[in-house]
Amino acid sequence: MKNENNWDFETICAKELTEFQSGDAHILPINATSSFSYENVEDSIDVFTGKKEGYVYTRYGNPTITAIQNKLALLEGFDMNDKPFCVMCNSGLAAVTTLCISVLEAGDEMITQGNLYGGTTEIFKKILSRYGIKVHFTDHENEQEIEKLISENPKIKLLYFETPSNPTISCLDIKKIVDVVQPYQILTAIDNTFATPY
Protein backbone atom coordinates (compact mmCIF):
# COMPACT_ATOMS: atom_id res chain seq x y z
CA MET A 1 0.00 0.00 0.00
CA LYS A 2 1.37 3.38 -0.94
CA ASN A 3 0.33 5.76 1.79
CA GLU A 4 -1.16 9.08 0.77
CA ASN A 5 1.91 11.03 1.93
CA ASN A 6 4.28 8.61 0.17
CA TRP A 7 6.21 8.10 3.42
CA ASP A 8 8.89 5.47 3.77
CA PHE A 9 8.27 2.60 6.18
CA GLU A 10 10.81 4.07 8.61
CA THR A 11 9.02 7.44 8.58
CA ILE A 12 5.73 5.79 9.52
CA CYS A 13 7.48 4.07 12.44
CA ALA A 14 8.97 7.32 13.74
CA LYS A 15 6.19 9.82 13.02
CA GLU A 16 3.11 10.58 15.11
CA LEU A 17 0.11 10.26 12.81
CA THR A 18 -2.01 12.99 14.34
CA GLU A 19 -2.80 16.55 13.35
CA PHE A 20 -1.10 18.98 15.70
CA GLN A 21 -2.26 22.50 16.47
CA SER A 22 0.05 25.23 17.77
CA GLY A 23 0.73 24.59 21.43
CA ASP A 24 -0.15 20.87 21.31
CA ALA A 25 2.18 18.22 22.72
CA HIS A 26 4.73 17.11 20.12
CA ILE A 27 4.14 13.43 20.90
CA LEU A 28 0.90 11.48 20.87
CA PRO A 29 -0.90 12.21 24.15
CA ILE A 30 -2.63 9.47 26.09
CA ASN A 31 -6.33 10.31 26.31
CA ALA A 32 -7.11 9.01 29.79
CA THR A 33 -10.82 9.72 29.71
CA SER A 34 -13.98 7.72 29.32
CA SER A 35 -16.15 10.46 27.79
CA PHE A 36 -15.72 13.63 25.75
CA SER A 37 -16.92 17.24 25.94
CA TYR A 38 -18.73 19.18 23.22
CA GLU A 39 -19.25 22.89 22.72
CA ASN A 40 -23.02 22.47 22.64
CA VAL A 41 -25.76 19.85 22.86
CA GLU A 42 -26.37 19.87 19.09
CA ASP A 43 -22.75 18.89 18.36
CA SER A 44 -22.93 16.03 20.84
CA ILE A 45 -26.21 14.78 19.37
CA ASP A 46 -24.70 14.86 15.86
CA VAL A 47 -21.72 12.78 17.01
CA PHE A 48 -23.83 10.38 19.09
CA THR A 49 -26.18 9.74 16.14
CA GLY A 50 -23.35 9.36 13.61
CA LYS A 51 -24.08 12.50 11.61
CA LYS A 52 -20.64 13.88 12.52
CA GLU A 53 -17.28 12.28 13.17
CA GLY A 54 -16.15 12.37 16.78
CA TYR A 55 -15.70 10.44 19.96
CA VAL A 56 -18.52 9.36 22.24
CA TYR A 57 -16.97 7.03 24.78
CA THR A 58 -13.47 5.53 24.98
CA ARG A 59 -14.92 2.01 24.84
CA TYR A 60 -15.65 2.80 21.17
CA GLY A 61 -12.46 4.76 20.54
CA ASN A 62 -10.50 7.87 21.36
CA PRO A 63 -7.80 9.92 19.59
CA THR A 64 -4.97 7.83 21.07
CA ILE A 65 -6.53 4.54 19.99
CA THR A 66 -7.35 5.89 16.51
CA ALA A 67 -3.76 7.10 15.99
CA ILE A 68 -2.32 3.73 17.04
CA GLN A 69 -4.78 1.78 14.86
CA ASN A 70 -3.95 3.97 11.85
CA LYS A 71 -0.21 3.58 12.37
CA LEU A 72 -0.43 -0.21 12.75
CA ALA A 73 -2.63 -0.45 9.64
CA LEU A 74 -0.10 1.55 7.60
CA LEU A 75 2.79 -0.59 8.84
CA GLU A 76 1.04 -3.93 8.34
CA GLY A 77 -0.26 -2.94 4.92
CA PHE A 78 2.83 -1.15 3.68
CA ASP A 79 3.35 -3.39 0.62
CA MET A 80 -0.32 -4.28 0.09
CA ASN A 81 -2.58 -3.06 -2.68
CA ASP A 82 -5.68 -3.23 -0.47
CA LYS A 83 -6.26 -0.67 2.24
CA PRO A 84 -5.67 -2.41 5.59
CA PHE A 85 -7.40 -1.58 8.83
CA CYS A 86 -6.73 -2.31 12.47
CA VAL A 87 -8.93 -2.88 15.51
CA MET A 88 -7.34 -2.50 18.95
CA CYS A 89 -8.59 -4.82 21.70
CA ASN A 90 -7.97 -4.84 25.44
CA SER A 91 -6.59 -8.39 25.49
CA GLY A 92 -5.58 -11.22 23.22
CA LEU A 93 -8.72 -13.18 24.07
CA ALA A 94 -10.84 -10.13 23.25
CA ALA A 95 -9.09 -9.98 19.87
CA VAL A 96 -9.66 -13.71 19.18
CA THR A 97 -13.33 -13.47 20.18
CA THR A 98 -13.84 -10.31 18.10
CA LEU A 99 -12.27 -12.03 15.09
CA CYS A 100 -14.46 -15.12 15.38
CA ILE A 101 -17.77 -13.31 15.89
CA SER A 102 -16.91 -10.92 13.05
CA VAL A 103 -16.25 -13.53 10.38
CA LEU A 104 -18.26 -16.57 11.52
CA GLU A 105 -21.95 -17.18 12.09
CA ALA A 106 -24.13 -20.09 13.17
CA GLY A 107 -23.56 -23.06 10.87
CA ASP A 108 -20.02 -22.02 9.90
CA GLU A 109 -16.96 -24.09 10.73
CA MET A 110 -13.31 -23.32 11.34
CA ILE A 111 -10.00 -25.17 11.66
CA THR A 112 -7.36 -24.66 14.31
CA GLN A 113 -4.37 -26.49 15.71
CA GLY A 114 -4.31 -28.66 18.81
CA ASN A 115 -1.59 -26.87 20.75
CA LEU A 116 -3.08 -23.44 21.45
CA TYR A 117 -3.06 -21.06 24.36
CA GLY A 118 -5.46 -22.51 26.95
CA GLY A 119 -7.79 -19.49 26.99
CA THR A 120 -8.16 -19.64 23.22
CA THR A 121 -8.92 -23.37 23.38
CA GLU A 122 -11.66 -22.64 25.94
CA ILE A 123 -13.26 -20.04 23.63
CA PHE A 124 -13.14 -22.43 20.69
CA LYS A 125 -14.46 -25.45 22.61
CA LYS A 126 -16.98 -23.90 24.98
CA ILE A 127 -18.09 -20.53 23.62
CA LEU A 128 -18.22 -20.88 19.83
CA SER A 129 -20.17 -24.15 20.06
CA ARG A 130 -22.93 -22.30 21.93
CA TYR A 131 -23.34 -20.12 18.85
CA GLY A 132 -23.53 -23.03 16.41
CA ILE A 133 -19.94 -22.73 15.17
CA LYS A 134 -18.05 -26.01 14.78
CA VAL A 135 -14.30 -26.05 15.42
CA HIS A 136 -12.04 -28.72 13.92
CA PHE A 137 -8.72 -29.32 15.69
CA THR A 138 -5.98 -30.70 13.46
CA ASP A 139 -2.22 -30.97 13.06
CA HIS A 140 -1.18 -27.85 11.16
CA GLU A 141 2.17 -29.39 10.26
CA ASN A 142 0.28 -31.85 8.05
CA GLU A 143 -0.92 -29.89 5.00
CA GLN A 144 -2.63 -32.97 3.52
CA GLU A 145 -4.74 -33.33 6.65
CA ILE A 146 -5.76 -29.65 6.45
CA GLU A 147 -6.70 -29.95 2.77
CA LYS A 148 -8.67 -33.17 3.36
CA LEU A 149 -10.62 -31.50 6.17
CA ILE A 150 -11.39 -28.47 3.99
CA SER A 151 -12.46 -30.55 0.99
CA GLU A 152 -14.80 -32.64 3.18
CA ASN A 153 -16.29 -29.66 5.06
CA PRO A 154 -17.38 -26.86 2.70
CA LYS A 155 -18.72 -24.79 5.62
CA ILE A 156 -15.18 -24.05 6.85
CA LYS A 157 -14.68 -20.27 6.65
CA LEU A 158 -11.62 -19.68 8.86
CA LEU A 159 -8.26 -21.26 9.55
CA TYR A 160 -6.69 -20.01 12.78
CA PHE A 161 -3.28 -20.80 14.20
CA GLU A 162 -0.56 -19.56 16.52
CA THR A 163 3.05 -19.37 15.45
CA PRO A 164 5.08 -19.47 17.55
CA SER A 165 2.45 -21.29 19.59
CA ASN A 166 1.76 -20.50 23.22
CA PRO A 167 3.21 -22.04 25.39
CA THR A 168 5.16 -24.65 23.36
CA ILE A 169 6.70 -22.09 20.97
CA SER A 170 6.40 -24.47 18.03
CA CYS A 171 6.68 -22.69 14.69
CA LEU A 172 4.58 -23.46 11.64
CA ASP A 173 5.33 -22.82 7.98
CA ILE A 174 2.89 -19.99 7.24
CA LYS A 175 3.41 -20.08 3.46
CA LYS A 176 2.73 -23.83 3.21
CA ILE A 177 -0.48 -23.51 5.22
CA VAL A 178 -1.71 -20.45 3.31
CA ASP A 179 -0.95 -22.14 -0.03
CA VAL A 180 -3.27 -25.00 1.00
CA VAL A 181 -6.25 -22.84 2.02
CA GLN A 182 -5.98 -20.01 -0.53
CA PRO A 183 -7.69 -21.85 -3.41
CA TYR A 184 -10.69 -22.42 -1.13
CA GLN A 185 -10.97 -18.70 -0.27
CA ILE A 186 -10.80 -19.41 3.45
CA LEU A 187 -9.72 -16.59 5.74
CA THR A 188 -6.47 -17.20 7.58
CA ALA A 189 -5.78 -15.68 11.00
CA ILE A 190 -2.45 -15.96 12.78
CA ASP A 191 -1.90 -15.17 16.45
CA ASN A 192 1.68 -14.03 16.91
CA THR A 193 2.15 -13.57 20.65
CA PHE A 194 5.89 -14.08 20.93
CA ALA A 195 7.54 -12.72 17.78
CA THR A 196 7.67 -9.27 16.29
CA PRO A 197 5.80 -8.96 12.97
CA TYR A 198 8.95 -7.60 11.28
Conformational region of residue 131, where left means phi above 0, alpha means psi within -120 to 50, and beta covers everything else: alpha
Neighbours of 163 (CB within 10 A): 20
Q: Is the pTM above the cut of 0.75?
A: yes
The residue extents of the domains of the chain are: 9-76, 92-191
Contacts of 185 by beta carbon, 8 Å cutoff, 6+ apart: none
Taking only the tens place, the pLDDT of each residue in 3-14 is 566 788 888 787
Taking only the tens place, the pLDDT of each residue in 29-72 is 888 889 998 989 999 999 999 999 999 999 888 999 998 998 88
CA dihedral 160, 165, 166, 170 (to 10 degrees): 160
For domain 92-191, which CATH number applies: 3.40.50.450, 3.40.640.10, 3.10.620.30, 3.30.420.40?
A: 3.40.640.10
